[in-house]
Amino acid sequence: MILVARHALRESLRRRIFAVVIALSIAFGALYAFGAHELFKDVSGFSDDSSGLDPKTLAGATILGLAMFGSLFLGAVLAVFLTAGAVRGDAESGTLQPLIVRPLSRRRYLAGRLLAASLVSAGYVAFAYLGAVLITGLIGDWWPSNVLGSLIRLSGAAVVISALALLGSVFLTATANGIAVLMVYGAGLLAGLLGEIGDAIPSHSLQRIADVASWTLPFEELYRDALRELVGSAHGVTGAIIKLGPLGGSHDAGPLLLPWAIAYVVLAVLLAGWAFMRRDV
């Protein structure tokens, strides 16, 4: 498993995927820093003490929520590109055949591919998120209430997307799987936004739709919970405004989310392994 993961990681390095990602991330970071600087400057005159609004928290939580959205999106794209063709795609190109005739179980092959994709995508999400936290803190002097909690949930979301892409790769060609997973990702985000609207109105129907969709696709629930961890300490008018926004953290997923996300990934890999065992390549 480690050997397969190392091979996949070396492929990412040798194909200059990391170089491209780092170069684009630096550009993303620079743009983010400029945006954060302008935002903190603009909101500094929003409020006096009597309104109870904390402009620094409002600006910091909003722009960092946006950075989390961007980080997860880029992490999802990485996860999809690294795993979309892991089985059927590689079998069609002939890359898989020389590997699986070796004494390497198909489950270990899948686990190795997932490990590599998770390290890259979750690692990237963590790197981008921590970079955004640092930039926000240094520019606006605002730090989120639970950096580690958000980090774990956001990186976990990238792992869940990798597992879904891996599962899809057993059944679909690389292109079809890539499109399917990105569409599922979009559907999850849409469900999350519906949930935010449902919380703001409030509408129990929308909340229920969002909950079912988010637990079915736990990357979305992890993302929503990561937003909540981000602004957990914001109270009063500021907290209310942030939580009502599209990047708000009004939704508490509860203590079962992380165990469910872990179980979900394990189930996806087991299902992929079960299907792969029954497939000719």
Report the interface residues with other proteins, using CB under 8 A. Answer: 3, 7, 11, 14-15, 93-95, 97-106, 277-281
Residue number, 88 or 224, with CB nearest to other proteins: 88
For the bound state, the minimum distance from the C-beta of residue 274 to other proteins, rounded and expressed in Å, comes to 11
For the bound state, the minimum distance from the C-beta of residue 250 to other proteins, rounded and expressed in Å, comes to 46
For the bound state, the minimum distance from the C-beta of residue 1 to other proteins, rounded and expressed in Å, comes to 11
Residue number, 15 or 37, with CB nearest to other proteins: 15
Residue with tokens 């409002």: 58
Residue number, 106 or 224, with CB nearest to other proteins: 106
Residue number, 89 or 218, with CB nearest to other proteins: 89
For the bound state, the minimum distance from the C-beta of residue 112 to other proteins, rounded and expressed in Å, comes to 11
Residue number, 204 or 278, with CB nearest to other proteins: 278
For the bound state, the minimum distance from the C-beta of residue 202 to other proteins, rounded and expressed in Å, comes to 51
Residue number, 111 or 191, with CB nearest to other proteins: 111
Residue number, 14 or 204, with CB nearest to other proteins: 14
For residue 134 the two structure tokens come to: 């640092």
For the bound state, the minimum distance from the C-beta of residue 93 to other proteins, rounded and expressed in Å, comes to 6
User: What's at 200, amino acid-wise?
Assistant: A
Name 63's Cβ contacts closer than 8 Å, sequence gap at least 6: 32, 35, 36, 39, 136
For the bound state, the minimum distance from the C-beta of residue 59 to other proteins, rounded and expressed in Å, comes to 44
DSSP string covering the chain = -HHHHHHHHHHHHHTTHHHHHHHHHHHHHHHHHHHHHHHHHHHTTS--GGG---HHHHHHHHHHHHHHHHHHHHHHHHHHHHHTTTTHHHHHHTSSHHHHTSS--HHHHHHHHHHHHHHHHHHHHHHHHHHHHHHHHHHH----S-HHHHHHHHHHHHHHHHHHHHHHHHHS-HHHHHHHHHHHHHHHHHHHHHHHHHHHTT-HHHHHHHHHHHHHSHHHHHHHHHHHHHTTT--HHHHHHHHHSTT-------TTHHHHHHHHHHHHHHHHHHHHHT---
Name 60's Cβ contacts closer than 8 Å, sequence gap at least 6: 40, 136, 140, 142, 143, 144
For the bound state, the minimum distance from the C-beta of residue 152 to other proteins, rounded and expressed in Å, comes to 33
- Count of positions (residues) in the chain: 281
Residue number, 49 or 280, with CB nearest to other proteins: 280
